[in-house]
A = this chain, B = another copy of it.
Amino acid sequence: MTPITQLHPNGEAPPAERLPDSQPLYRQLADHYRRAIGSGVLRPGDRMPSMRAFMQRHGVSLATATESYRVLERDALIDARPRAGYFVRVPPAAGLPAAAEPDLAVPPGAAQFVGIHSVISSIVSTFQRYPDALNLGGATASPDLYPTEALQKAALRALRRRPTLLTAAGHDQGDPELRAVIARRALDAGIHIGADDLIMTHGGIEAVNLALRAVTQPGDTVAVESPCFFGLLQALESLGLRALEIPASPSTGLAIDALAFALQTHPDIKAVVAVPNLQNPLGTVMPDAHKARLVELCAQAGVALIEDDPYRELADAAQPPKSLKAWDTDGTVIHCTSFNKTLAPGMRVGWINGGRWHPRIGMLKFAQSRHNEQLSQVVLGEFLATNAYERHLRRLRDRLRIQRERMAAAIATSFPDGTRFTPPGGGMFFWIGLPRGTSSAALFEAALKEGIRIMPGTVFSNSGRFDHFIRLSCPSTDMDLADEAVRKLGRLAGRIAM
């Protein structure tokens, strides 16, 4: 083999140091590239040699080449991109401070009826005028990150095998086989339930609506995270409920002490709604100790804890995080989730476990919309029964991670001073605090005119306290386009912030 010392990563100049000969070859080669990356000879985003080129250049076997890259990958120096090869990893963003923690000294205000719908309507009608804008404001990844072909094939198989799927009515609670598969899979989230303990719903949002209807009457108060998913605020508004916004930390999620205080001072709170894993828009995963305390607190107060958990499987962790429901001992937690974000945005399949309100939720679901369509449930049941879903999730998480890293770097280098954000540990959202006083509504309008759709912070609270925030998502697979858009946004934000 060619001596290591004579090798430049691109095959030109030799590196400065010689490695001790006692190291195995794959390690020597890994360290060689580690230095090249450290010195900036290879830059973030650069393509690494293909396996074949690596073997030829260093005269080594496939096993050695593979092992070298495995070490570099483990040390977070390079990333595999499916079907594209290995790339020097884009380091986590630097240059902008982390997101600010909420001020917990301020007691929660009064619970308020929500008036968010008109704000959202105006945003929707504005962006509908720019149908071709690059969508960085959405909440799902682009279709090519989902297993379109595998699901299409599963659907074709299901239709051929069960020709009456479209003409025969389905089971009230949902397809029994799908429910059995979901119950088995729920063990991964720490949830012990049987197939009969869950009801299929039209997406996760119907599940959350049913949970709210089961435990509240119009006029009641519901404690929510602040900032929170605007869909929840719309649900509260449409059901005539009051929202009490509890601060959420970008690092640990819902502030449990603030909630405890609110439960004492607001005896009319009938439910708490939380997104414990990859909170929307914060991207926060609540630590286990907080999850345990939150469940205990609600159980002691006798208040329903509605868990909205659609992003859990998108978290970057060796072990996916647990659901709040894992700590539930007395039916306090109503668990709601869906496959909309993780698998198929076109399929409206969610499910709910209603804790001690389960029978009432079953009644409400039947009265409101009857059973779900059979076809998508059968397709899903088939897909989940194999390991195709796990394979898809691993690939989706990898792709999203790479996209987030590129996007974080672009944000860090192009947004104005005073911008703060914390890159999330999974999922697809960036919650970006612009310099105080910057109008996210103005940035939304200006960005649309430049062909970029974002989500202004105005819709994530009933209070106006996030008007200088924006939520960006990284659904696009064309990262060069997204990069350019983020840089443009940064410049626009700088202009508006002045």
> Which of B168, B231, B376 is within 8 Å of A166, CB to CB?
B376
> Which of B146, B164, B205, B373 is within 8 Å of A376, CB to CB?
B373
Closest chain B residue to A124, Cβ basis: B172
A367 interface residue per 8 A CB criterion: yes
* A146 to B167 Cα, complex, angstroms: 6
The smallest C-beta distance from A343 to any residue of chain B, in angstroms, reads: 8
Contact between chains at A348 and B376 (CB < 8 Å): no
Contact between chains at A209 and B376 (CB < 8 Å): no
Q: What residues on B are CB-neighbors of A367 within 8 Å?
A: 117, 205, 209, 231, 234-235, 237-238
Q: What residues on B are CB-neighbors of A140 within 8 Å?
A: 169
Contact between chains at A159 and B155 (CB < 8 Å): yes
A322 interface residue per 8 A CB criterion: no
Contact between chains at A155 and B369 (CB < 8 Å): no
* A238 to B214 Cα, complex, angstroms: 9
Question: Size of chain A's interface in residues, with CB distance under 8 A?
Answer: 56
* A379 to B238 Cα, complex, angstroms: 31
Contact between chains at A152 and B156 (CB < 8 Å): no
A279 interface residue per 8 A CB criterion: no
Contact between chains at B346 and A379 (CB < 8 Å): no
| Chain A contacts with B in 334-375, Cβ cutoff 8 A | 344-348, 363-364, 366-375
* A235 to B345 Cα, complex, angstroms: 29
| Chain A contacts with B in 164-217, Cβ cutoff 8 A | 164-170, 201-203, 205-206, 209, 213, 217
Known: A143-B168, A155-B159, A368-B209. A375 touches B346 (CB 8 A): yes
A218 interface residue per 8 A CB criterion: yes
| Chain A contacts with B in 314-350, Cβ cutoff 8 A | 344-348
Contact between chains at B167 and A369 (CB < 8 Å): no
Kindly name the residue among A166, A235, A344, A371 whose own CB sees the greatest number of chain B CB atoms within 10 A.
A166
The smallest C-beta distance from A379 to any residue of chain B, in angstroms, reads: 7
Contact between chains at A346 and B164 (CB < 8 Å): yes
> Which of B152, B169, B235, B368 is within 8 Å of A238, CB to CB?
B368
Q: What residues on B are CB-neighbors of A374 within 8 Å?
A: 346
* A163 to B344 Cα, complex, angstroms: 12
Contact between chains at A373 and B345 (CB < 8 Å): no
Contact between chains at B372 and A348 (CB < 8 Å): yes
Kindly name the residue among A148, A167, A203, A209 whose own CB sees the greatest number of chain B CB atoms within 10 A.
A167
* Interface residues of chain A: helix, strand, loop or mixed (majority): helix
The smallest C-beta distance from A346 to any residue of chain B, in angstroms, reads: 5
The smallest C-beta distance from A9 to any residue of chain B, in angstroms, reads: 38
> Which of B143, B167, B205, B235 is within 8 Å of A164, CB to CB?
B143
Q: What residues on B are CB-neighbors of A369 within 8 Å?
A: 201-203, 205-206, 209, 348, 369
The smallest C-beta distance from A285 to any residue of chain B, in angstroms, reads: 25
* A447 to B379 Cα, complex, angstroms: 37
Contact between chains at B156 and A346 (CB < 8 Å): no
* A379 to B231 Cα, complex, angstroms: 29
A7 interface residue per 8 A CB criterion: no
Q: What residues on B are CB-neighbors of A156 within 8 Å?
A: 156, 159-160
A21 interface residue per 8 A CB criterion: no
Closest chain B residue to A214, Cβ basis: B238
Contact between chains at A347 and B166 (CB < 8 Å): yes
Known: A164-B148, A235-B368, A369-B206. A375 touches B240 (CB 8 A): no
The smallest C-beta distance from A138 to any residue of chain B, in angstroms, reads: 8
Q: What residues on B are CB-neighbors of A346 within 8 Å?
A: 164-170, 373-375
A115 interface residue per 8 A CB criterion: no
Known: A117-B363, A240-B217, A366-B234. A167 touches B345 (CB 8 A): yes
* A166 to B348 Cα, complex, angstroms: 9
* A376 to B379 Cα, complex, angstroms: 14
A103 interface residue per 8 A CB criterion: no
* A238 to B346 Cα, complex, angstroms: 29
| Chain A contacts with B in 224-278, Cβ cutoff 8 A | 231, 234-235, 237-238, 240
* A366 to B120 Cα, complex, angstroms: 11
A137 interface residue per 8 A CB criterion: no
Contact between chains at A167 and B155 (CB < 8 Å): no
Closest chain B residue to A240, Cβ basis: B217
* A379 to B159 Cα, complex, angstroms: 13
Which residues of chain A have a CB within 8 Å of any CB of chain B? 117, 121, 140, 143, 146-149, 151-152, 155-156, 159-160, 163-170, 201-203, 205-206, 209, 213, 217-218, 231, 234-235, 237-238, 240, 344-348, 363-364, 366-376, 379
4 residue pairs, one from A and one from B, having the closest CB atoms: A146-B167, A238-B367, A169-B345, A234-B367
Known: A151-B167, A375-B375. 4 other contacts (CB 8 A): A146-B167, A149-B163, A155-B166, A209-B368
